[in-house]
Structure 1
Amino acid sequence: MNAPANATAPKAARRFRPSFYLWMTLAMAFFVFGGFGMSYIVPMSRGAFPPAPPIVHLHGLIFFSWMLLLITQSALVGAGKVRLHRSFGTWGIAHGTAIIVIGLMLQLIATRRAMDKGFAAGTDGLYLGLCAFVGFSTMFALAIRNTHRPDVHRRMMLFAMLPVLPPGVNRFWSHAFGLEPIPVVPLYATLWSMAAAILIHEWRGRGRISGYSLFGAGWIVIEGVLHKIVVHSPPFDRLAAVILGMVYYR
């Protein structure tokens, strides 16, 4: 007697298909590794990086490994390894939480040191750091909440990354083209282009744009519109002084 065909036929291996989400993650990683490569990795390799608090190196390690995790997770989905992708879920939540906590700590410490040297409290960096903390936390939570809806989950992970990309994007444009330390126009042109790409991909695939995506894109657009209005304004300077007044790092 012949065995049933479904019992004897080998399972066909799925061909790896790089998705839009993988390409977007690689684009984000390009700015992170490119920007920090020129300002951190290369100087470190040459022994030219100035002495820095341990939290600087801890932040670098956590953020670089986070980008590698995002790339790996997107690649696993493209290879059909969804179960393995999900097995990293708890680690991803813990790693993402560490990203935003360490990032905010570093920004507060750096801004407090600048304030102690006589600079204004409400800097561009602090504005971006606070927006990153709130924006990433909110959209990361929405991504976790929608793990049972893969398309929403993946889009919210991409949108969650946009508020935390400015340090890498700023360093890329400033070091590659000799622009000012925080080139506001190239920064938001980059972030808004990424947000637009996510919206266009969703619209082409589904014929509509979800409220989640509108929220994610709206966050980064509003952040850019308000940037120059808020930074160095008296209310923001007062708020920044209160926040930094609670920061102490020895």
Structure 2
Amino acid sequence: MVATTITPVRTSTGYFYVWMAGLCTLIAFGGFAATYWLQLAAGTFVGQPILHVHGLIFSAWPLLLLSQTILAANGRMEHHRAWGVFGVALASAMVILGLTVAIRGLNVRLAAGEGNVARAFMLMPLGAITIFAGLFIAAVLNVKRPEWHKRLILAATCAALFAAAGRVGFLIATHGGGPGMRPGTGPEPPFSTPAPDGVLMSLVLMIGVIYDWRTRGRPHPAYLIAIGVFLAHAFVGPIVAHTAGWYAAMDALATLGR
């Protein structure tokens, strides 16, 4: 009787994460559709080869999350753990590639004369990469605490999707973009509060908060911590990004890509 009562709850909870992983996958591919995937199909995408490697690696992450949640929901934990090792390698590659592409982009914009606008805009990619890395490391450290681990992995994925969410503002500002257009191919708009990426992805995590409230009676601390970090990035980050200290730090960082 006990087994009959508990099993459906576990299955329902497990498949909640499958649905969330599916939503993250839609955001990842949908967010980049107009500025990458459709342009790639039409032959209008303009960019260095490293951008294709970057796109491939970052696109693999939500797909891995989806497959991992399906394995966990179906009780295939031995396969889930085995693929987790690949996840560590993939996350490491994402951080390295993310930093490399961000620094290269900064140098291109500085050379184009964008100055402090380019320096301030660096908070977007650097913030996303740093938050992703921090949440992923926390998830790995909590691998034996599954309630923390799975929520931190979901939150890390949302951080990795900041760029996809940020494309929404770009498409609105450019009236849907156009052939060859993407953030970085023209002067960046002034970076102001709030940063839309952190706000939008906080709303995605709020789905988890609401689900926890309905199934646990309270939200898990992992969600609250992640949302707090996302909102700090969205509201406090842009203020920091327009300080002399940040500008100096970005000039120092730019020298690494020269």
TM-score (norm 1): 0.83
Please state whether the residue corresponding to 1:102 is helix, strand or coil.
Answer: helix
Instruction: State the identity as a percent.
Output: 27
Q: State how far apart, in whole Å, the 2-side matches of 1:27 and 1:75 are.
A: 14
- In the other structure, the counterpart of 1:45 is 41
| Residue matched to 2:23 | 27
Q: Which residue of 2 aligns with 1:139?
A: 135
Q: 2:125 aligns with which of 121, 125, 129?
A: 129
2:170 to 174, 197, 210: 174
AA in 1 matched with 2:155: F
1:1-250 equivalences under 5 Å are: 19-50=15-46, 52-121=47-116, 122-175=118-171, 178=175, 186-248=196-258
CA change 1:124–1:80 in 2 (3 A) is farther
- Partner secondary structure for residue 88 of structure 1: helix
Q: What is the one-letter code of the residue matched to 1:46?
A: A
TM-fit CA distance, 1:95: 0.7
Gaps of at least 5 residues in structure 2 are 1-9, 178-182, 184-188
- Matched residues in 2 for 1:186 and 1:179: separation? 17
Deviation at 1:185, TM superposition (A): 5.8
The range that moved more, 40-49 or 158-167, is 158-167
TM-score normalized with structure 2 length: 0.81
Cα separation, partners in 2 of 1:179 and 1:219, compared to 1, 3 Å: farther
Superposed CA RMSD in Å reads 2.5
| Greater Rg by CA | 1
Using the alignment, how far apart are the partners of 1:196 and 1:179 within structure 2? 28
Cα distance in 2 between the residues matched to 1:187 and 1:210 = 22
Instruction: Name whichever of 183-192 and 117-126 sits farther off.
Output: 183-192
CA contact (8 A) 2:103 2:254 kept: yes
- In structure 1, the gaps of 5 or more residues are 1-14
